[in-house]
Amino acid sequence: MTEYKSLGYELSDNVATITINRPEAANSLSLDMCKELMDASIRVDDDPEVRAVVFRGSGRFFCTGADLRGFPPAGPEMATFVKEMTTYLHAAVSRFTRMDAPLITAINGTCAGAGMSLALFSDLAVAGESARFTMAYSRIGLTPDGSSTYFLPRLVGLRRSLELCLTNRMLSAAEALDWGMINRVVADDELQSSAHELAAQLAAGPTESIGAAKRLYHQSWNEGLESQMEWETRAICDASRRPEAKEGVSAFFEKRDPVFR
């Protein structure tokens, strides 16, 4: 199995845990980390044993964005470097988003810049009480990346997205919950256990059907009503053919909990 330098990876009871592991650099993103994230996204997508994923940060921070100390000077060299970095990062986000297994982010401490993007793209998000959210890009004369211009307006609306981007407003965990950016806030010392309890619940579900439902929701933004309903018909008919549906329907009539394996 691949060994990572800037990520932790563990698989237990069908739940993969991916940990951003650069606490000495506030879990900031390096080029190597982006490459490892892409590899990890392929790994969880291809492994049939993975039925849910928890994505978290080590130490005091979730992720504070790109590690600018590793960047070349602003200008053509930086542009080339950023293009390579975002190629790997965006491939990872795309793969994580499109895979069947649901992904839960466990957000601890500060997430800023691309770190905030990584807090937004998951299917479900749990934050500790001390979590803080800020875009931070315009503070250094740059624009958002990592998928935040896709997910943020879908979560909070255009006006609030622009406010966060243009003013670099810092949101508390409670404000992020109120705005719809995250699903729940828990005590800091309960964050990891809460995220893994949620992941375990989802890992026991019908993974292929969950993946199909995720894709329906994502594509709905680009479809009209009738075409989206056609995609719904096709998806539910495909689901009807799978063993998951046979088990789910049988369990319903037998008045027992289904076992999706």
pLDDT (mean) for 207-211? 95
Catalytic residues: 90, 145
Q: At what angle do helices 76-98 and 31-46 cross, to 10 degrees?
A: 20
Quote the pLDDT of residue 3: 84
Beta strand residue intervals within the chain, DSSP E = 7-12, 15-20, 52-57, 103-107, 110-112, 124-128, 132-134, 171-172, 184-186
**Alpha-carbon 10 to chain mean position:** 17
Task: Determine what percent of the chain is predicted with pLDDT higher than 70.
Answer: 99
Quote the pLDDT of residue 2: 65
The per-residue pLDDT for range 121-177, each reduced to its tens digit, is: 999 999 999 999 999 999 898 999 999 999 999 999 999 999 999 999 999 999 999
Residue 131 CB: number of other CB atoms within 10 A? 28
Q: In Å, how far are 32, 36, 99, 201, 238 from 85, measured between CA atoms? A: 9, 11, 22, 34, 37
The per-residue pLDDT for range 17-50, each reduced to its tens digit, is: 999 999 999 999 999 999 999 999 999 999 999 9
Task: Round to whole Å and give the CA distance between 151 and 216.
Answer: 15
Task: Round to whole Å and give the CA distance between 178 and 261.
Answer: 36
Structure-token pair, residue 24:
């000495």
Task: Round to whole Å and give the CA distance between 47 and 151.
Answer: 26
Contact assessment for residue 176 and residue 155, using Cβ atoms and an 8 Å cutoff: no
pLDDT (mean) for 247-252? 93
Task: Determine what percent of the chain is predicted with pLDDT higher than 90.
Answer: 93
Give the DSSP H/E element, type plus range, for residue 88: helix 76-98
pLDDT (mean) for 43-71? 95
Quote the pLDDT of residue 74: 87
Structure-token pair, residue 68:
């600018």
